[in-house]
């Protein structure tokens, strides 16, 4: 999801950058506009389309220049854009809803949604004891404090029929890969919060797509 600062709303310019990708007729390059964009994390696969647009000159053709800034988690993007310092953000819509409910006058605007369903997941060892969501009861899941799947786990449990009070959640630092490596083969850690797009398909499997 893209979120945009109300004070720097450029919806028409962003739409132009997308819809003109297949343009074949040469035209003069418009005057440049520079914007600071907060990413969800450091550079990773889900952001490839933005980097491709930069490398192929599609943004420059529309007179746009993006300064891409590494983020500290998708859940932090909306509040950081609302606090100022960034014109655009690439983050989580659940966090945006929270900011909109808490401070509607400062809330950013969503101008593009990248996923048609939540990518949040609990990755588990395919050879481990967790096969269905209710198997998470009595188990331990790792996740960093700003992880979207961790933040929205209560809603997942309500929908999947899991007693959240019986699931032990341990906050951990570092990236998903490091947490997955500490989980595999472990008798004390049974899952890792994350996005399906950030998982390691050959090593883990999503517990459920019920989010």
User: Can you point out the beta strands (E) in the chain?
Assistant: 2-4, 33-38, 64-69, 88-90, 109-112, 120-124, 140-143, 168-171, 191-195, 205-206
* Mean residue pLDDT across the chain: 81
Give the residue among 73, 78, 51 at the shortest CA–CA distance from 175.
Answer: 73
Phi and psi torsions of 170, nearest 5°: -115, 120
The whole-model pTM stands at 0.70
pLDDT tier, 109 (very low <50, low <70, confident <90, very high otherwise): very high
Q: Is the pLDDT of residue 146 over 50?
A: yes
- Identify the residue with better confidence: 192 or 2: 192
């Amino acid at each position: 999801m893209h979120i945009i600062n109300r004070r720097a709303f450029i919806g028409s310019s962003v739409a132009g950058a997308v819809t003109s990708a297949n343009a074949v007729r040469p035209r003069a390059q418009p005057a440049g506009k520079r914007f600071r964009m907060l990413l969800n994390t450091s550079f990773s696969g889900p952001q490839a389309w933005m980097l491709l647009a930069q490398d192929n000159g599609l943004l420059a053709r529309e007179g746009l220049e993006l300064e891409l800034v590494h983020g500290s988690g998708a859940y932090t993007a909306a509040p950081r854009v609302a606090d100022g310092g960034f014109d655009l953000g690439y983050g989580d819509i659940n966090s945006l809803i929270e900011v909109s409910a808490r401070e509607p006058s400062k809330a950013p605007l969503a101008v593009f949604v990248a996923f048609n369903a939540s990518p949040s997941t609990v990755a588990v060892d395919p050879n481990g004891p967790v096969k269905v969501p209710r198997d998470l009861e009595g188990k331990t899941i790792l996740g960093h404090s700003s992880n979207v799947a961790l933040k929205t786990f209560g809603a997942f449990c309500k929908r999947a029929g899991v007693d959240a009070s019986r699931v032990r959640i341990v906050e951990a630092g570092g990236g998903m890969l490091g947490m997955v490596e500490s989980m595999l083969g472990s008798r004390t850690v049974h899952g890792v919060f994350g996005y399906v797009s950030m998982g390691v398909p050959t090593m883990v499997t999503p517990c459920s797509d019920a989010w």
